[in-house]
């Protein structure tokens, strides 16, 4: 008898779990978008327009490099490779920014890629 009840309730339980996962995913994406906006505002306040353009260009290059050259690595390892590349490139161009600022720009490049 209890097995019959569980079998009857299984489709409803699946629907509930799927809905919860959907809501959580939506909340995470909204949180990332909010973080992206705040990071851009902070970055904009501390750099010139030309520097911001260069930072975002290099971040896009770093993201593309990590996606293609380091496909076999996990997400965090790809981010570290992209961050390393971007910091070296920006340093060679005389742009001094924190790793956190560069990471925010790389993550924005990732979100822009995902939204296309």
First to last CA, the chain: 51
pLDDT, one tens digit per residue, over 38-84 is: 887 877 776 677 888 888 899 999 988 888 888 777 778 888 888 99
Provide the number of structural domains found in the chain. 1
Q: Are 89 and 59 in contact (CB under 8 A)?
A: no
Range(s) of the domain holding residue 92: 2-115
Distance CA 100, CA 89 (A): 15
pLDDT, one tens digit per residue, over 95-110 is: 888 888 888 898 888 8
Q: Tally Cβ neighbours within 10 Å of residue 94.
A: 8
3-state helix, strand, coil in the chain (%, to 5): 85, 0, 15
């Amino acid at each position: 008898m209890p097995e019959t009840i569980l079998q009857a309730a299984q489709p409803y339980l699946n629907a509930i779990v799927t809905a919860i996962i959907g809501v959580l995913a939506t909340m995470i994406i909204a949180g990332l978008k909010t973080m992206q906006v705040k990071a851009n505002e902070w970055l904009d306040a501390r750099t010139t327009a030309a520097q911001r353009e260069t930072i975002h260009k290099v971040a896009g290059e770093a993201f593309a490099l990590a996606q293609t050259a380091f496909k076999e690595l996990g997400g965090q390892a790809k981010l570290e490779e992209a961050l390393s590349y971007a910091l070296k490139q920006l340093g060679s161009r005389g742009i001094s920014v924190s790793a956190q600022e560069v990471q925010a720009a790389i993550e924005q490049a990732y979100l822009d890629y995902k939204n296309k």
